[in-house]
Structure 1
Amino acid sequence: MNETPHIAIIGAGLGGLSAALRLAHAGARVTVLEAQPGPGGKMRTLPSALGPVDAGPTVLTLRGVFDQLFADVGLLLEDHVTLTREPLLARHFWRDCSMLDLTGAMQADADAIGAFAGAQAAREFRAFHAETRALFAAFDAPMMQAAKPRLGRIALNALTTPAIWRALGPRTTLARRLAAQFADPRLRQLFGRYATYVGGVPGAAPAVLSLIWQAEAAGVWRVQGGMHRLAQAMARLAGDRGAQLSYNSRVTEIADNGRRITLESGAQMDVDATLFNGDPQALARGLLGWTPRHALPRSATRRRSLSAHVWAFAATANRNDLVHHNVFFGDDPAAEFGPILRNRMPDDPTLYVCKQDDGEHARFEIVMNAAPTTRHPPEPTEAALCQTLIFDNLARHGLTFTPMPEVTALTTPSAFAALHPGSDGSLYGRSPHGLLAAFQRPTARTRMKRLYLAGGGAHPGAGVPMATLSGQHAAAAIMRDLGLT
Structure 2
Amino acid sequence: MSRKNVIVVGAGIGGLVAAVQLAARGLQVQVLERAGTPGGKMREITLGTHRIDAGPTVLTMRRIFEDIFADAGATLEDYLTLEPLEIIARHAWSEHERLDLFADHERTVDAIGDFAGAAEAKGYRAFRDRARMIYETLETTFIHAPRPSFFGLMKRCGLRGFGGLSGVKPYDSLWDILGDYFKDQRLRQLFGRYSTYCGSSAFQAPATLMLIAHAEQQGVWSVAGGMQQVASALAQLAEKHGASIEYHQEVVEILTEHGHSSGVRLANGDVRAADAVVVNADPAALSQGRLGKGASRAVPPIRPAGRSLSAMTWCLSAETQGFPLARHNVFFGRDYAAELDDVFKHARLPRNGTVYVCAQDRGIGESSSLHGTERLLLLLNAPPIGDKHRFDAAEIAQSEERVFSHLEHCGLRVLRTPENCQVTTPTEFERFFPATGGALYGQAYHGWTAAFKRPASRTRIPRLYLAGGSTHPGAGIPMAAVSGRLAAASLIEDLDSS
TM-score by length of 1: 0.96
Q: Contact 1:54–1:226 (CA<8 Å) still a contact in 2?
A: yes
Deviations 1:99-153 (A, max 9, x none): 1111133322111111110011111111111111111111111111222226446
Give the SS at the match of 1:483: helix
Residue deviations 1:421-464 (CA, integer Å, cap 9, x gap): 11110000011101010111111100101110000011101000
Comparing 210-219 with 143-152, which one deviates more in the overlay?
A: 143-152
1:242 maps onto 2:246 in alignment: no
Equivalence for 1:89: 88
8 Å CA contact retained: 2:149, 2:452? no
| 1:458 partner amino acid | T
The answer as to whether partners of 2:469 and 2:479 remain within 8 angstroms in 1 is: yes
- Most deviating of 147-156 and 4-13: 147-156
1:282-293, aligned counterparts within 5 Å? 282-293=285-296
SS in 1 for 2:26: coil
Q: Is 1:441–2:476 an aligned residue pair?
A: no
Q: Which amino acid aligns with 1:127?
A: A
Is the Cα contact below 8 Å between 2:473 and 2:479 reproduced in 1?
A: yes
The answer to whether 1:324 aligns with 2:337 is no
What pairs with 1:252-331 in structure 2 (closer than 5 Å)?
Answer: 252-256=252-256, 257-298=260-301, 303-319=306-322, 321-331=324-334
Partner residue, 1:409: 422
Distance in 1 separating the partners of 2:253 and 2:40: 19
Alignment-mate amino acid for residue 368 of structure 1: L
Letter in 1 for 2:342: P
Q: Cα–Cα, structure 1 residues 385 and 20, in superposed 2: closer, same or farther, change >3 Å? A: same
Residues 283-332 of structure 1, C-alpha deviation per residue, up to 9 Å, x if partnerless? 00000010111111236886211101111121111136111111111111
Cα distance in 2 for residues equivalent to 1:153 and 1:107: 37
Structure 2: which amino acid aligns with 1:44?
R
- One-letter code of the match for 1:193? R
**Distance of 2:101 and 2:197 partners within structure 1:** 17
CA contact (8 A) 1:138 1:158 kept: no
Q: 2-side partners of 1:135 and 1:299: how far apart?
A: 28
- Is residue 15–residue 470 contact of structure 1 (8 Å, CA) maintained in 2? yes
Q: 1-side partners of 2:127 and 2:164: how far apart?
A: 10
Please give the alpha-carbon distance, in whole angstroms, between the structure 2 residues aligned to 1:111 and 1:222. 25
Q: Is the 8 A contact 1:28 1:484 kept in 2?
A: no
Instruction: Judge conservation of contact 2:323–2:410 (CA < 8 Å) in 1.
Output: no
- Preserved CA contact (<8 Å) 2:316 2:421: no
Task: Measure, in 2, the Cα distance between the counterparts of 1:332 and 1:152.
Answer: 37
How far 1:27 sits from its partner (Å)? 1.1
- Secondary structure of the residue aligned to 1:167 is coil
**Do the aligned partners of 2:284 and 2:302 also contact (CA within 8 Å) in 1?**
no
360, 376, 380: which is aligned to 1:368? 380
Give the direction of change, closer, same or farther, for the CA distance of 1:7–1:51 in structure 2 (3 Å limit). Answer: same
Instruction: Give the deviation of 1:367 after TM superposition.
Output: 0.8
What's 2:174 paired with? 174
> Which residue number in structure 2 is paired with residue 382 of structure 1?
395
1:200 and 2:200 correspond: yes
How many percent of aligned residue pairs carry the same amino acid? 41
Distance, in Å, in 2 between the alignment partners of 1:273 and 1:235 is 20
Which of 314, 337, 342 lines up with 1:334 in the alignment? Answer: 337
Per the alignment, residue 344 of structure 1 pairs with: 348
Tell me, in whole angstroms, the C-alpha distance in 2 between the residues paired with 1:206 and 1:158.
Answer: 21
After superposition, the C-alpha distances for 1:25-60 in whole angstroms (9 at most, x for unaligned) are: 111111111111110000001112342100000121
The answer to whether the 8 Å contact 2:79/2:233 transfers is: yes
2:210 corresponds to 1:229: no
In the alignment, the residues of structure 2 paired with residue 192 and residue 158 of structure 1 have an alpha-carbon distance, to the nearest angstrom, of 29
SS at match of 1:93: strand
CA distance in 1, matches of 2:181, 2:116: 14
Cα distance in structure 1, aligned partners of 2:71 and 2:285 = 31
Bigger mean CA deviation after superposition, 89-98 or 372-381: 372-381
Q: Aligned residue for 1:392? A: 405
Offset of 1:186 from its aligned partner? Answer: 0.5
Aligned equivalent of 1:185: 185
Give the match for residue 210 of structure 1.
Answer: 210
Residues 357-412 of structure 1 show CA distances to partners (whole Å, capped at 9, x for unaligned) of 13432111111111101236433433222322211211211212223355961110
More strand by share: 2
- 1:122 corresponds to which residue? 121
Computed over aligned residues only, the root mean square deviation of the Cα atoms, in angstroms, reads 1.9
* Aligned residue number for residue 428 of structure 1: 441
Equivalent in 437, 456, 460 of residue 473 of structure 2: 460
SS at match of 1:457: coil
SS at match of 1:164: coil
Contact preservation (8 Å) 1:138, 1:154: no
**Structure 1 stretches of 5 or more lacking a match?**
none
1:20 Cα deviation from its structure 2 partner: 0.7
Assess, with a 3 A threshold, how the Cα gap between structure 1 residues 407 and 282 changes in structure 2: closer, same or farther: farther
For 1:274 and 1:263, the matched residues in 2 are separated by: 14
> Deviation of residue 349 (structure 1)?
0.6
Q: Which moved more, 1:229-238 or 1:459-468?
A: 229-238
